[in-house]
């Protein structure tokens, strides 16, 4: 199949993040949506990994199905928190043997409603996981980046240093979502000053509801600009919120594309309506892509 790092360097890559379904109803909704994903034609799709491995088998099955049945280059998220080294090796060997070549190496975060931290795994941080992935097979490895700094970091300087060390071992990075282009540009500049110039793909989360934005921003530590909050809170009803969210994302993505970003990675939460509208407005989706679903 395709190593994602080989996709960068030409036209910006369109990619999406999906969640493995946690129920039969969610599985049916996702199955119905995957036909629309085929029409969107992303360069790759990443599949999330639940806290403490709660979606371990579902993540594996969706990754393999996307690549085998839909011809979509799939990237498996893998978190080292709460896992032993042997468990991680077993997961990686299964992916390697199934022909999966792309992995997003993460430390792992607790669930949104968790009151206790995750138990420590045998590997303490994502950089150690990157090294383990390298030892198991010829994977293309991505890591996560936070434009405004990780919420648990002691400070931005320390966060950038750790990110540079991690990215030096990996192939590319994908950022958490953000709404200030300057935050992304500063991140890339700071990494370059530390000698790291590997691709950093900006992550985009279309706003579909105020509640979802608040929950995701709290989890990621993303500060939402006041002007954006004002635009969203002025919207009258859920349909208007989604419409304004699409407008905001189109503006953000247009600015990013003008800066020559390697791609755009959309956090879809398994709902493609907004992402398709944004990509069509930007000329990144084929005309026949649907606008509902």
In CATH, what number is assigned to the domain containing residue 88? 3.20.20.220
Contact between residue 11 and residue 284 where contact means Cβ atoms under 8 Å apart: no
Whether 107 is covered by a domain: the verdict is yes
Q: Dump pLDDT digits (tens) for 156-172.
A: 999 999 999 999 999 99
Instruction: List the structure tokens of 138.
Output: 């010829």
**Per-residue model confidence (pLDDT) at position 78:** 94
**Per-residue model confidence (pLDDT) at position 176:** 94
The catalytic residue positions are 17
Within 191-245, strands assigned E span 200-204
**Placement of tokens 């080292």 in the chain:** 80
**Per-residue model confidence (pLDDT) at position 290:** 45
Burial of 236 (0-12, 13-18, 19+ CB in 10 A): exposed
Whether 292 is covered by a domain: the verdict is no
How many CB atoms within 10 Å of residue 18? Answer: 25
**Per-residue model confidence (pLDDT) at position 116:** 47
Whether 286 is covered by a domain: the verdict is no
**Per-residue model confidence (pLDDT) at position 221:** 65
Whether 293 is covered by a domain: the verdict is no
Chain centroid to CA 270: 12
Domains held by the chain: number: 1
In which domain, by residue range, is 226 found?
4-281
d(CA 79, CA 96): 17
**Per-residue model confidence (pLDDT) at position 293:** 45
d(CA 163, CA 105): 12
**Per-residue model confidence (pLDDT) at position 5:** 97
**Per-residue model confidence (pLDDT) at position 53:** 56
Whether 273 is covered by a domain: the verdict is yes
d(CA 27, CA 65): 13
**Per-residue model confidence (pLDDT) at position 83:** 86
**Placement of tokens 């138990």 in the chain:** 119
Whether 288 is covered by a domain: the verdict is no
**Per-residue model confidence (pLDDT) at position 81:** 83
- Name residues of the chain where pLDDT drops below 50: 111-119, 289-293
Whether 19 is covered by a domain: the verdict is yes
**Per-residue model confidence (pLDDT) at position 292:** 46
**Per-residue model confidence (pLDDT) at position 261:** 98
């Amino acid at each position: 199949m395709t190593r994602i790092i080989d996709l960068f360097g030409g036209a910006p890559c369109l990619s999406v993040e999906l969640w493995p379904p946690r129920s039969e109803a969610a599985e049916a909704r996702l199955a119905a949506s995957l036909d629309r994903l085929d029409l969107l034609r992303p360069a790759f799709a990443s599949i999330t990994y639940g806290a403490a491995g709660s979606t371990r088998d579902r993540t594996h099955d969706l990754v393999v199905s996307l690549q085998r049945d839909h011809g979509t280059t799939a990237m498996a998220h893998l978190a080292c928190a709460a896992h032993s080294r042997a468990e991680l090796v077993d997961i990686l060997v299964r992916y390697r043997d199934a022909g999966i070549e792309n992995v997003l190496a993460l430390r792992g975060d607790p669930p949104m409603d968790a009151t206790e931290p995750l138990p420590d795994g045998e590997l303490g941080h994502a950089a150690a996981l990157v090294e383990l992935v390298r030892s198991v097979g010829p994977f293309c490895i991505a890591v996560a980046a936070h434009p405004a700094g990780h919420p648990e970091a002691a400070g931005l300087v320390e966060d950038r240093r750790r990110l540079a060390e991690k990215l030096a071992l990996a192939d590319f990075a994908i950022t958490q979502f953000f709404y200030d282009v300057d935050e992304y540009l500063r991140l890339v500049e700071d990494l370059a000053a530390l000698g790291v110039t590997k691709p950093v793909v900006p992550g985009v989360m279309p706003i579909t509801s105020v509640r979802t934005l608040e929950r995701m921003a709290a989890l990621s530590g993303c500060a939402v600009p006041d002007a954006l909050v004002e635009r969203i809170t002025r919207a009258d009803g859920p349909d208007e919120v989604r419409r304004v969210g699409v407008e905001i994302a189109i503006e953000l993505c247009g600015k990013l594309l003008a800066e020559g970003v390697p791609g755009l990675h959309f956090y879809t939460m398994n709902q493609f309506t907004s992402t398709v509208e944004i990509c069509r407005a930007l000329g990144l989706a084929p005309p026949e892509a649907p606008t509902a679903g």
